Amino acid sequence: MFLLQTGGGGIGITPIFFALMILVFWLFFIRPQAKKQKQQKLFLENLQKGDRVVTIAGIHGSINRVNEDGTISLEINPGSYIKIEKSAISMEWTAQINKPLAAVPEKK
C-alpha cells in the first residue's frame, strides 16, 4: 500500500511566494505600462501647429491644425491635408524624426 503524507511546513511559504509573484508582476509589467501611458497622454496633449509627426501607419507630416474634437489636420505634402485622430500619432517614431542627428566622424 502507498501512503500519502503531507507535510505542514510548506503551507506558510505559499502565500509569501504568491505575494512575491504579484510584486514582480507589478514591478515589471503594470508599472512600466502605466508610466508609458502617462507619457503618451502628455505627448498628445502637447501637440501643436507646426510639429513634425509620424502616424502609427507611418505617414509623415506636419500638424496644420489641432481640432477640439480630438482630431488633427495633418499636412503630408504642400497643400495636401488629411484629418486623423490624435491617438494615431506615434510617440516613438515622432521622437526618432525630431531628434538631432549625431555628428558623423569623417574618414581620412
Domain locations in the chain? 48-99
pLDDT of residue 52: 94
What is the pLDDT of the chain when averaged over all its residues?
84
**What percent of the residues of the chain are helix, what percent strand, and what percent coil, each to the nearest 5?**
40, 25, 35
Q: Please state, for a pLDDT cut of 90, what percent of the chain lies above it.
A: 44
- 69's torsion region: left (phi>0), alpha (psi -120 to 50) or beta? alpha
Domain 48-99 part of CATH 3.50.50.60: no
Q: Does 85 score more than 90 pLDDT?
A: yes
Q: Which three cell numbers stand for residue 65?
A: 491644425
